[in-house]
Structure 1
Amino acid sequence: MKKENFTPERVAGHQCDPGRQQTIFWDRKQQGLGLRVTASGRKAYVYEGRLFGKTLRITIGAPDAWPLESYVTTDPTGKKIERLGARQEAARLKALLDRDIDPREEKAEQRAAHEARKLESRRQDATVGEAWRAYLDASRAKWSERHHKDHENLAHAGGAKKLRGTGLTVPGPLAPLMPLKLSNLTAETIAAWLEAEAQNRPTNAEQSYRKLRAFIRWCDDRPEYSGIAAQNVYNARSVRDAVPRTNAKDDCLQREQLTAWFDAVRKIQNPVISAYLQGLLITGARREELAALKWDDVDFRWRSLHISDKVETESGRTIPLPPFLASLLLDLKRINDTPPNIRQLRRLKQRGEEWQPSPWVFASKTAADGKIAEPRYAHNQALADAGLPHVSLHGLRRSFGTLTEWVECPVGVVAQIQGHKPSAIAEKHYRRRPLDLLRMWHDRIEVWMLEQAGIEFDASAARTGMHAVK
């Protein structure tokens, strides 16, 4: 092995021996330092030593990047910087091998530590908005479409053109927190945000706080976000004191109001909206649950509805289909299954479209997803025509739960029909009422409602019509 004292000029002049893929020249001054020159002219400093009796060769780098000797320079700010030379790097590698340390492992550990620092830096720089989007994406499969949309609206930045009316949308209650870093989500920040939001929209602020609390808990369970926000930041006394105290809603139809309500709702010209509103009161279902009902979920023969449950998210729940509500759905099915006239079919064909019955029970030709979207306007108009106080769509669900007490229906039956979690040990572990038992009580509830509303209805004829449906 021929050695020579490396100089910048000699390093620049070395070439690969003819007929070989590479040639290595060795430095006499620094033991183990070599210069590898390939047939293509590429050069690199290498170090060769022994570790545990085996030869180890490590690439240091190209002469363009590694000077032969260390030297000191200054950066634009005047700070002195030492540039390590190839000889000094070779001496460092030799020292590691002399201590039985593998430089490759040391480099891998340094790289891992560097990546860990970068990851932690990115973690600490993560904003609430970034984590919020990840939270929504991770929860999409477990939430209903409306529940997911509610979370999006709460954090919406606003400023977009309104879909109805004029002007621009206002920012959601959570929008001020979205640009903040998660590390800046402190009790003081949340308390100040709550106080500001509570001045104009206390109910939304209280709901947003509960969703923010669930979001922070989710972050604590995720490796990429855990430990960034202060622990239990949502439980600090300053935060709890700032949460607006909202009164529970108590809008509910009374027994003596049923006549006026049914009369006004049955006069709504849109049969889909009319049947939907009556279905909300008769079943006590959540508005999104009933709106998402498909014809495949309706069994006229066995008089049942399969509803996508907020609680039983995977399997949903099956509830009875009382005769009067079944007759309303039969009317909707006849409308849904009736094809358009020849002129309308011709127009569809010209557009390259083909008519098919809607899969949705409460279908809408104007809604983007094909099902009923906003029945509140028709309901509010019906309440005004009937001279009744305001009752929300959720108030109809509340009305069902309240009115069932008039027929002395067991609380557990009502909870099972409405999809509430069991509230007692016996209900949770020892009560699983079959559909026919629920149907007996549900039919009584519907009959009582119709009697109070003064509606004459032949349930036996309706049952006959249902058995005729395939």
Structure 2
Amino acid sequence: MAKLTKTFIDKVEPPAEGYAIHWDDKLPGYGLRVTANGVRSFVAQGRVSGKAIITTIGRYGLFTEEAARKKAQKILQDMREGIDPRAVNKADAAMKVTLQDVLEAYVGRPGKLKASTAAEYRRQVEKTFAKWAPLPIASITRDMVKERHAALVKGGLEGKKAAPASANAAFVTLRILIRFAMDEYRQADGTPLIRDNPVDALKHHWAKLGTRTERYIDRRKIGEVWNKLHAMRGEVQGYEALASVDLTIFGLLTGARRDEMATLTWDRVHMDDHDPAECWWHITDRKRGEDLQMPLSSQAVALLRSRPRLKLADGTESPFVFPSWGKSGRIQDARAPMQAIGEIAGRHLSLHDLRRTFTNIAMRECLIEKFRTDLLTGHKPASDDVTSRSYLNLTRLNEWLTGEVQKIGDWIEQQAAIAASKNVVPLQRSA
């Protein structure tokens, strides 16, 4: 043993290999660990519930001998009272966990999330909650949540345009991340780092979007919407603006999910000049089920054939059907065309609402049975439908549902012709 003083610490010789611990002769359990390469660190050793525990206080230089001795006294007293300093250190570290840290831990779990889902979580944190990302997640309060949500509902990310759906979606993401942190991180006494999810403050404040069954384009507006989108094709400037319009048209014709369309690459599109059943697009990386070959109507084929290929800086072509100059290389949203549709429809609509519109057209206007409509929108048959699940090939849908998707495309074009016709005169109401 030795009296640990600054003089002793400065002069102590490193061991030939490994490390050596020099215990203080005045404070039992307080020591200096010296490694073979000369690193000096203060340590404390005691017993908790009969088990010997040694913990590092900190490196000499970051701690003076006096400061290290005081901390050692506190740690040794805690050990005598049954407190494990390692748990305290872990809890202290947990208190510093930021929203960005939680995001990385959540999306970094192997095999848990699709790449597109992980990217969406990352986008929400790094854009919607950019100012909160470096903050300890435990510091996010209910008042902060209500204030930020209200601001997004009123003015969106840029404070210029209401974005109620986006506001709700962003805070659903935040709620999931905080719930994950509640499960993963603990305080010194073993209780959750966060006891109550602050997003619960929105229980009575979520933006009202209307029921899902109401969020589609009314059949009487379909023709006007179709004509407006095609007019926009001739008006917009630039690859990205055109891509967003075409993405919207493709959604109306296919009922596809946003990410299925946005991530579509040309190698997953097949168009045959002679056989309509051999015109299809391929959905891969599905959350559930096998990859699907989806039929294309003649209207969708015409749209895809008219799509310009984006030349990249290295001289190659973008692999995406709906490309962008952004980091992802593809379109992320379609705000301008969806705004135009919303003005015609008289309600705020999202790209996913085109999927609901497609379903309504299929079943209500074209009288396509629910089973086939479900398949056209990439839904699996009911779990009790043994015949379809066990005996039918439900992956090459283009081979037997081309007629159905063509009915939908033809009906939309028919409505567009009616809306554009100057010969259609509204019937007068009788007095």
TM-superposed deviation, 1:325: 0.7
Q: Would the aligned equivalents of 1:295 and 1:361 in 2 still touch at CA under 8 Å?
A: yes
Structure 1 partner of 2:371: 412
AA at the equivalent of 1:416: L
TM-superposed deviation, 1:214: 1.9
Deviation readout 1:110-161 (Å, 9 max, x if unpaired):
349554442233224434443234324445736163453134323211xxxx
2:284 corresponds to 1:311:
no
AA at the equivalent of 1:145: A
TM-superposed deviation, 1:215: 1.8
Query: How far, CA to CA, are the matches of 1:140 and 1:227 in structure 2?
Result: 31
AA at the equivalent of 2:331: I
TM-superposed deviation, 1:298: 0.7
Structure 2 partner of 1:358: 318
Structure 2 partner of 1:261: 225
2:420 corresponds to 1:453:
no
User: What is the SS of the residue equivalent to 1:397?
Assistant: helix
User: What is the SS of the residue equivalent to 1:454?
Assistant: helix
Higher relative contact order (CA 8 A, sep 6+): 2
1:336 to 309, 328, 341: 309
Query: How far, CA to CA, are the matches of 2:2 and 2:255 in structure 1?
Result: 90
2:367 corresponds to 1:396:
no
TM-superposed deviation, 1:285: 1.4
Query: How far, CA to CA, are the matches of 1:428 and 1:280 in structure 2?
Result: 30
Query: How far, CA to CA, are the matches of 1:299 and 1:244 in structure 2?
Result: 43
Deviation readout 1:139-186 (Å, 9 max, x if unpaired):
5736163453134323211xxxxxxxxxxxxxxxxx3x963453x67x
2:267 corresponds to 1:285:
no
Q: Would the aligned equivalents of 1:300 and 1:326 in 2 still touch at CA under 8 Å?
A: yes
- Runs (5+) with no aligned partner, structure 2: 4-11, 32-46, 57-83, 154-163, 237-241, 273-277, 419-431
Q: Would the aligned equivalents of 1:283 and 1:400 in 2 still touch at CA under 8 Å?
A: yes
Query: How far, CA to CA, are the matches of 1:217 and 1:264 in structure 2?
Result: 43
Query: How far, CA to CA, are the matches of 1:441 and 1:234 in structure 2?
Result: 46
| Residues 325 and 144 of structure 1: CA distance in aligned 2, closer, same or farther (over 3 Å) | farther
TM-superposed deviation, 1:359: 1.3
Query: How far, CA to CA, are the matches of 2:271 and 2:227 in structure 1?
Result: 26
2:125 corresponds to 1:156:
no
Q: Would the aligned equivalents of 1:336 and 1:358 in 2 still touch at CA under 8 Å?
A: yes
How do 1:40-439 and structure 2 match up within 5 A? 61=22, 66=24, 70=25, 82=27, 109-111=53-55, 114-138=85-109, 139=113, 141=115, 143=117, 145-157=119-131, 175=132, 179-180=135-136, 182=138, 189-190=141-142, 192-197=143-148, 199-201=150-152, 203=164, 206-222=168-184, 227-230=191-194, 233-234=196-197, 239=201, 241-244=203-206, 246-248=208-210, 250-267=214-231, 268-269=233-234, 272-301=243-272, 302-308=278-284, 311-312=287-288, 316-332=291-307, 335-336=308-309, 354-364=314-324, 366-378=325-337, 380=339, 389=346, 391-404=349-362, 405-420=364-379, 424-426=382-384, 430-431=388-389, 433=394, 435=397, 436-439=399-402
TM-superposed deviation, 1:205: 5.5
| Residues 448 and 286 of structure 1: CA distance in aligned 2, closer, same or farther (over 3 Å) | same
Structure 2 partner of 1:25: none
AA at the equivalent of 2:265: K
Query: How far, CA to CA, are the matches of 1:426 and 1:257 in structure 2?
Result: 37
Deviation readout 1:217-276 (Å, 9 max, x if unpaired):
433554779952355x3499x747445362326443232323322222223225645533
Query: How far, CA to CA, are the matches of 1:242 and 1:379 in structure 2?
Result: 28
More divergent stretch after superposition (209-218 vs 428-437): 428-437
Query: How far, CA to CA, are the matches of 1:148 and 1:155 in structure 2?
Result: 10
Structure 1 partner of 2:404: 441
Structure 2 partner of 1:14: none
| Residues 224 and 437 of structure 1: CA distance in aligned 2, closer, same or farther (over 3 Å) | farther
User: What is the SS of the residue equivalent to 1:305?
Assistant: strand
| Residues 358 and 130 of structure 1: CA distance in aligned 2, closer, same or farther (over 3 Å) | closer
Q: Would the aligned equivalents of 1:322 and 1:439 in 2 still touch at CA under 8 Å?
A: yes
TM-superposed deviation, 1:400: 1.0
How many aligned positions are there? 327
Query: How far, CA to CA, are the matches of 1:280 and 1:244 in structure 2?
Result: 27
AA at the equivalent of 1:258: I
Q: Would the aligned equivalents of 1:251 and 1:395 in 2 still touch at CA under 8 Å?
A: yes
Q: Would the aligned equivalents of 2:216 and 2:354 in 1 still touch at CA under 8 Å?
A: yes
TM-superposed deviation, 1:282: 0.5
| Residues 427 and 322 of structure 1: CA distance in aligned 2, closer, same or farther (over 3 Å) | farther
User: What is the SS of the residue equivalent to 1:277?
Assistant: helix
Q: Would the aligned equivalents of 1:303 and 1:321 in 2 still touch at CA under 8 Å?
A: yes
Percent identity between the two aligned chains: 20
Q: Would the aligned equivalents of 1:275 and 1:328 in 2 still touch at CA under 8 Å?
A: yes
Q: Would the aligned equivalents of 2:181 and 2:194 in 1 still touch at CA under 8 Å?
A: no
Structure 2 partner of 1:468: none
| Residues 304 and 205 of structure 1: CA distance in aligned 2, closer, same or farther (over 3 Å) | closer
Q: Would the aligned equivalents of 2:226 and 2:416 in 1 still touch at CA under 8 Å?
A: yes
- Runs (5+) with no aligned partner, structure 1: 1-5, 9-40, 45-57, 72-81, 87-102, 158-174, 340-347, 456-470
Q: Would the aligned equivalents of 2:244 and 2:333 in 1 still touch at CA under 8 Å?
A: no
Query: How far, CA to CA, are the matches of 2:357 and 2:295 in structure 1?
Result: 18
Q: Would the aligned equivalents of 1:209 and 1:243 in 2 still touch at CA under 8 Å?
A: no
TM-superposed deviation, 1:401: 1.8
AA at the equivalent of 1:328: L
| Residues 59 and 355 of structure 1: CA distance in aligned 2, closer, same or farther (over 3 Å) | closer
Query: How far, CA to CA, are the matches of 1:260 and 1:327 in structure 2?
Result: 19
Query: How far, CA to CA, are the matches of 2:30 and 2:292 in structure 1?
Result: 74
Q: Would the aligned equivalents of 1:234 and 1:240 in 2 still touch at CA under 8 Å?
A: no
